[in-house]
Amino acid sequence: MKAMILAAGFGERLRPLTETTPKPLLQVGGKPLIQYHIENLAAAGVREIVVNTSWLGEMIEAYLGDGSRFGVEIFWSREEAPLETGGGIRRALPYLGCEPFLVVNGDVWTDYPLETLIEREWSREMDAHLVLIPNPPFKSVGDFSLSNGLVSYPQNGEKSYTFSGISVMCPEMFALHPSASEKFPLRNVLEASVRAHSVSGEVFDGTWWDVGTLDRLEMLNTLLAGKPLDIAKKPRLRPQIA
C-alpha cells in the first residue's frame, strides 16, 4: 500500500515558529514531526510515500530527500498555494495509483499501529475507512458517529468522535473533482460517501496529539522530555502518554 502525508499547510497558529520553519519540520521530542510519520510508515511496511508541500516546501524536501535513508521512496506533490486536504490529495492521485492508499495528517503525533491498516484487505464496496478518537478537551463536539463499523454524522445528541487524520481512501472518491488545481477540504469528498453508508471506521483510544498550536507543541515536548506538566495548561490538551 502507498501512503500520503499531508504537509502543505501554513501552520498559522504556530507562528512565529512557522514563519521560518515549515510545520512538518518543527521539533517534537528532538526530531522533526514529519520524521515520525516517515519512520512509522516504513516500519509498517510502506515503501512508497507521497508528501505534498507548499509553504517552505523546499526545506522539507531538502531534509527528507528521496527518502532512501529511511528505507522508503518519497514522491513530491508540490502546490503553488495550499489546496487544502481534499485538493492536496486530488493533486497527488497520479502518484498514488488505482488502489486504496493510506493518508496521514502531517500535524498529528500518535502511536496508532499503522500496520493494522496496511495489512488489511480492503473491500472496494467501501470508499474510505476513518480512524476516529474520543473527542479531545479542545473539541466538545465530534465530527462523526460510529455504528456497526459504519461512519455517520451525529444526530440528536448521539455519541460522536473526532477524526484523527488517519484514513484509508479509494481514489474513485475524487472522481467529481477532475481538476488537479482545485482547492477544497476533504469533507467535500467524504460527505456523499458517508451519507451513502460507504465509509467504515474504528475508534482508537491510544496516544494522539494534534500539534496545531504553540501550547500543544510545548506540552507534547514537555511530556516527551519527562518533565512535570503545567497544571494550568493541562486541561487544554489531551495528554495520554504513559
Distance CA 69, CA 104 (A): 20
Cis preceding-peptide flag for 134 (omega within 30 of 0): no
Q: H/E element holding 128?
A: strand 128-133
Q: Supply the pTM of this predicted model.
A: 0.89
pLDDT tens-place string over residues 114-145: 999 998 888 778 899 999 999 887 777 889 99
Report the relative pairing of strands 73-78 and 27-28 from DSSP bridges: unpaired
What fold, for 3-236? Spore Coat Polysaccharide Biosynthesis Protein SpsA; Chain A (3.90.550)
Q: Give all strands (DSSP E) within 134-212, no chain letters.
A: 145-147, 150-152, 162-169, 199-203, 208-210
Residue of 166, 173, 170 whose CA lies nearest to 190: 173
pLDDT tens-place string over residues 52-82: 999 898 999 999 999 999 999 999 999 998 9
Q: Where are the domains of the chain?
A: 3-236
